[in-house]
Structure 1
Amino acid sequence: MDWDKLRIFHTVAEAGSFTHAGDLLNLSQSAVSRQVSALEESLRTTLFRRHARGLILTEQGELLYQTARDVFAKLAMAEAMLTDAKEKPRGELKVSTTIGLGSTWLTPRIREFIEAYPDINVNMVLTDGEVDLTMREADIAIRLWPPTQPDLVQRKLMTVNFHLYASPDYVKRRGMPKSPEDLDRHSLIVYGDDTPNPVRASEWLMELGANPDKPRNPVLKVNNIYGLLLAVQSGLGIGALPDYIVQGHTQPVRVLDDVAGPKFDTYFVYPEELRNSKRITVFRDFLIQKVAETRF
C-alpha cells in the first residue's frame, strides 16, 4: 500500500472534504481527489461516498481509517521518542486538563515553564471531557479522577479541597451564615447537573445542615467552575469552590470557615511509551514545584 496515498486518505477522512484536506496538505483539490481515487483503484474498493455536503466513509473506508489512525498515532509517538533522545528537551508538548484548573491555575503559571524551556512548544487543551492519551490526543493529562484507560502511567499530583465562598458585597447585604442551618436563608449557586464532578460538591452544599423535608433550590446552576467563581464574585450568592481557584482573587471570602468541604485527588497521567520522555519529566517536575507553592 502506497504510504503517501494512505497519508492523504487519512487527512481526507479527518477533514471530511477534498478541499479542506488540500488546504492542510498544500495540494490542490483535484490532486487530493486523484490520489484517493488511485488508492481506491489499487484496493478495488470504494472508500468514500461523495455527496453535495461532503464525504462519508464507507464500511471499508471506516476500517481503513481506523487502522491508519492507529498507525499514524504510533508513528507520532515514535517521532516524539526520537526527539526526546536528544540532549535538550524540545518539540511539542500537548497538555490536557479541565477548563477550570487550566484557565485559573495552570495558565497563569505556564510562562515560567516556557521561559525555562523555549524549545518546548506547549499546546494546552482545556476540556472537561476525557481525551484519549493512547491515541495521542494529548501527551499528558491532569485529571480530577484516576485514569480508566490501560497502559497509562499515573502519579498523584495534589489534593484539592472545597470550601464555601461568597463576595464581601453579598455578605454585607445578606449577612454571614453562623451555622450550616443558616444556609436555608441564603442564595446558593451550584454546578449544573451535566457537569463532571468527582466530589459532588453541589450535593454537599445543598444538603449541608438542610432539613430533608424542605429541600433547597439554588438561585443558579452553572456547568463550569470558572463561571461559578464569577457568579460568586458578582455577589449573586454562596458557592462551593476549590480553594485553588480563589487564589489571586480578592473578592471571595470564606463562609463557615470551620466547616471542611469535600476533597479529591488530582493525577498527572501520560502513556507508558513516554515514560522516559525528557519533555514529560521536566514538565512533571515543574508542576510538582508549582503545587508545593500553592495552597490547595
Structure 2
Amino acid sequence: MPDTVSGQAVTPAPPLPRYTRARVARGWPRNGGYRPNRLTGWWLPLSFFALAELGARLEIIPARLFPPPSELAQTLWNLARRGELAPHVAASLARVLAGFAAGSALAVLLGFLVGLSRRAEAVLEPTLQALRAIPSLAWIPLLLLWLGIDETPKVVLIAIGAFFPVYLNLVAGLHDIDHKLVELGTSCGLSSTRLIRHVLLPGCLPYLFAGLRGGLSLAWMFLVAAELIAATRGVGYLLSDGRESSRPDLVLAAILVLAILGKLSDSLLRALEKACLRWRDAHRQQPRQ
C-alpha cells in the first residue's frame, strides 16, 4: 500500500500474538509489564529483621540500644500471655476510630462547603490554614484546660490530626473537576443534590480517598501524643512506660504494634477504595479503539 505523502510502499506491521493481544486488552503493560505478587512487599521488612537479628547475635548492634527481633517477639508474647496487650490495643483502636470518624466527617462537610462556595472559601480558608500550622503537642495544654483528662481530649486531638488531610484533598478534588461537566449537569436539569451525587462526588472521590488514607495515618501519629494526656491504657502508654522504665524492647515492641495496626487499617481503607472506584479501573482497562 503506497504512502500518500512519500509515495513509497509501506509494509503493514505483523499482527500481535493472541496472548499479547489479550494482555493489551486488559490494560497491559503497566509499569513496564511488571506485576508484583503478594509476597513482594514482605521482602524488605523480613530482610531488615533478619539483618537486625544477625547483627545483635554477632554483637555488631548493641542490644541495649536495639534489642534483636526475637526479644521483641518475646516481649509481645509475654504481654499477650498476661492479658496486657489486648486492652492496650483495644483502647488505642477505639480512640483512633472515634477521632478519625469525627475529623473526617467534619472535613467532608467543610470541604464541600469551601469547594462549592467562593464566599465560604474566602471566610474559612485563612483560618483553617492557620490552624493547620499548629503542632499537635501545642494543642495538649489547651485541650487539658478545656476538656479535662478523660477520653474527650484524646479523641479531639486525633480528630484534629485526621481533619486536615481529608479537607485539603477534598477541596483540591472539587476544584479539579472540569467545569464543563458541571455546566452539562446543570443544563440537563439536575438539582443540587443530584449534581453532587452524580457529578461532583464521583469526580472528587479519588482525592477524597487519598485524603482519608493520609488522615488515617496522621490519626495513628496523633494517637501517641493523645495518649500522653494522663492515659493509663493504650499503645502510646506502652511507649511512655518503656521510656520511663528504660526498656528499649518495650518501646520498640509498641512501635511495631503501631506499625502493624496502621498497615492493617490502611489496607482495609485501600480495599474500600478499590471497591468504590472499580468504575475507574474498569475504564482504564478498556482497550483503545
TM value normalised by structure 2: 0.23
Rg larger in structure: 2
Q: Which has the higher helix share?
A: 2
TM value normalised by structure 1: 0.22
Q: Which has the higher strand share?
A: 1
